[in-house]
């Protein structure tokens, strides 16, 4: 496989498997709680556990990829995902389930960090914005598939069977990458410089913006099934309805990118998207119009993605991009790991099933404040460089 668009399709498919595995716990939250006799806080912890290795592994992930080679490192990640899925499928205790989830997540982090670099290597200077927008959409696509398929698989087989599916898909991804992927002839490598001063502040804030946004969206697919089942919905129907938001967001992501590029005002698009999504999240547990509200969440949440993903490029010089993106993903993972855990605790302590949605709305308001901070520091950086 040498064509860059074919390579993108391959990498998109493999990263979708990671998203599918990640979203399985949210899609089966009530069933998992019943089988293992755990509460919402425990389910939230299990959701976040998948991404927790990223808090410590994102920064050195690029270095490891350079030492082993991108393809070899990602293959190791897929092996970890496969083995972790097997452990989760066979787990008869909650502790074993935690081990399987953590191992799967560790492999997933390797994919998330290094596959972004692989896409960049193939598309640097050639439709990179379009390629990255499509690649990012592998995440909602995999999540939506899990929300649709996993409840039915669990109903027809059991929860263990649903986890086994994630292991089988990871194994298929391993074989596909092993057989089909070739490194590009030329690959731009950074010198390993570390961002400093205002550049470091900007990339930290950009990582927080991306993390807060993704954590808020995680409230939808992680806790909407729980929210709707308490209203009397069947789990399969609740997960299918929730998947609407994820599918529509996959469509609205490129639309938001086009609007940002053609208007030349990505910050406005980001703020409007943040505010409208926050309002929709807060409305979900309070209104009876569930389907229209989920559609609105999907439509509005895709608008800011293009603008957010362009923030690191504004402040990172080429020689600092590898470690700079490691910093970016570190703060992203801090947010997406801690948020589901905190949301589960809030639901249990307040007794309010909509607490996760309210928390998601609050995180989007925080993302707007972070964007203001980013622009203030970036403008100071620009003046210092020009002066």
| pLDDT, position 386 | 67
Quote the CA–CA distance of 243 and 26 in Å, as a whole number: 11
Range name among 177-181, 249-253, 369-373 with the lowest pLDDT average: 249-253
Is 226 or 320 the better-scoring residue by pLDDT?
226
- Over residues 17-43, mean pLDDT: 88
Residue-range domains of the chain with CATH: 1-189 (1.20.1250.20), 190-387 (1.20.1250.20)
The neighbour count for residue 318, using CB atoms within 10 Å, is: 14
| pLDDT tens digits for range 75-89 | 999 999 999 999 999
CB contact at 8 A, 241 and 364: no
Closest Cα to residue 312, out of 231, 215, 195, 213?
195
Going by C-alpha positions, the residue among 175, 116, 174, 138 that lies closest to residue 23 is: 138
* Higher-pLDDT residue of 325, 304: 304
**Residue indicated by tokens 């490194």:** 183
132 pLDDT higher than 80: no
pLDDT at 95 exceeding the cut of 50: yes
- Name the residue with tokens 């990602």: 74
pLDDT of residue 376: 95
pLDDT exceeds 70 at position 158? yes
| Position with higher pLDDT, 4 vs 282 | 282
As a whole number of angstroms, the distance between CA 77 and CA 111 comes to 6
Q: If DSSP states are collapsed to H, E and C, what string results for 91-140?
A: CCCHHHHHHHHHHHHHHHHHHHHHHHHHHHHHHCCCCHHHHHHHHHCHHH
CA distance 332 to 53: 12
Q: Report, as an integer, the average pLDDT of 57-86.
A: 84
**Mean pLDDT computed over every residue of the chain:** 86
Contact 241, 290 (CB under 8 A): yes
Whole-structure pTM value? 0.77
Q: Distance of CA 59 to CAs 109, 159, 194, 324, Å?
A: 11, 34, 11, 8
> Hey, CA dihedral for 205, 210, 215, 217, is it positive or negative?
positive
Q: CA 237 → CA 224, 229, 242, distances in Å? A: 11, 9, 9
Could you identify the residue written with the tokens 């995680």?
218
Backbone torsions φ then ψ of 317, nearest 5 degrees: -70, 155
- Kindly state the DSSP code that residue 190 receives in the 8-state scheme: -
| pLDDT given for residue 226 in this prediction | 82
pLDDT at 93: 92
pLDDT higher than threshold 90 for residue 140: no
- How does residue 125 score in pLDDT terms, banded at 50, 70 and 90? low
The confidence band for 49, taking pLDDT boundaries of 50, 70 and 90, is confident
283: pLDDT strictly greater than 90? yes
Q: Are 85 and 167 in contact (CB under 8 A)?
A: yes
Residue 163 or residue 65, greater confidence? 163
368 C-beta neighbours (distance < 10 Å), count:
18
The tokens for 363 are: 């995180």
Alpha-carbon distance of 385 to 260, in angstroms, equals 26
Q: How far apart are CA 110 and CA 7, in angstroms?
A: 18
How big, in percent rounded to 5, are the helix, strand and coil portions of the chain? 85, 0, 15
Judged by DSSP in three states, 184 sits in: coil
Asked if pLDDT for residue 377 goes beyond 80, the answer is: yes
* Residues 340, 110: Cα–Cα separation, whole Å: 21
Q: What would the pLDDT profile of 174-209 be if each residue is shown by its tens digit? A: 999 999 998 776 454 445 567 788 889 999 999 999
Q: Compute the distance between CA of residue 268 and CA of residue 301 in angstroms, rounded to an integer.
A: 14
Of the ranges 45-59, 125-139, 356-370, the best mean pLDDT one: 356-370
Question: Could you tell me the end-to-end alpha-carbon distance of the chain, in angstroms, rounded to an integer?
Answer: 48
User: Looking at the chain, which runs of residues are DSSP E strands?
Assistant: none
With a cut of 70, say whether residue 127 has pLDDT above it.
no
Residues 6+ apart with CB under 8 A from 262: none
């Amino acid at each position: 496989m040498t064509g860059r668009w074919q390579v993108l399709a391959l990498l998109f498919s493999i990263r979708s498997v990671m998203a599918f595995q990640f979203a399985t716990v949210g899609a089966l939250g009530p069933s998992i709680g019943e089988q293992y006799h755990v509460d919402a806080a425990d389910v939230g912890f299990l959701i976040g556990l998948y991404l927790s290795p990223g808090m410590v592994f994102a920064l050195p992930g690029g270095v490891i990829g350079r030492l082993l080679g991108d393809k070899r490192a990602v293959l190791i990640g897929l092996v970890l995902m496969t083995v972790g899925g097997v452990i989760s499928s066979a787990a008869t205790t909650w502790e074993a389930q935690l081990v399987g989830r953590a191992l799967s997540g560790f492999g997933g982090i390797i994919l998330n960090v290094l596959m972004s670099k692989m896409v960049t290597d193939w598309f640097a200077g050639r439709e990179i914005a379009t390629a990255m927008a499509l690649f990012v959409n592998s995440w909602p696509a995999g999540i939506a598939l899990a929300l649709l398929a996993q409840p039915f698989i669990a109903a027809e087989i059991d929860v263990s069977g649903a986890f086994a599916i994630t292991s089988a898909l990871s194994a298929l991804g391993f074989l596909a990458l092993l057989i089909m992927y070739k490194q590009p002839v030329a690959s731009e490598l950074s010198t390993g410089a570390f961002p400093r001063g205002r550049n470091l502040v900007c990339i930290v804030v950009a990582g927080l913006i991306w993390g807060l946004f993704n954590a808020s969206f995680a409230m939808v697919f992680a806790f909407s099934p729980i929210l709707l089942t308490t209203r009397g919905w069947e789990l399969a129907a609740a997960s299918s309805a929730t998947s609407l938001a994820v599918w529509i967001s996959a469509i609205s992501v490129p639309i938001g990118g086009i609007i940002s590029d053609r208007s030349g005002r990505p910050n406005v698009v980001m703020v409007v998207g943040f505010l409208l999504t926050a309002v929709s999240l807060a409305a979900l547990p309070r209104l009876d119009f569930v389907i229209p509200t989920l559609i609105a969440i999907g439509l509005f949440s895709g608008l800011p993605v293009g603008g957010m993903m362009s923030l690191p490029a504004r402040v990172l010089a080429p020689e600092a991009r590898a470690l700079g993106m490691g910093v970016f993903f570190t703060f992203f993972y801090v947010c997406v790991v801690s948020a589901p855990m905190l949301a589960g605790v809030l639901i249990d302590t307040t007794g309010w099933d909509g607490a996760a949605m309210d928390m998601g709305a609050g995180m989007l308001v925080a993302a707007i404040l972070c964007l203001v901070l980013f622009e203030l520091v970036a403008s100071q950086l620009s003046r210092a460089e020009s002066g």
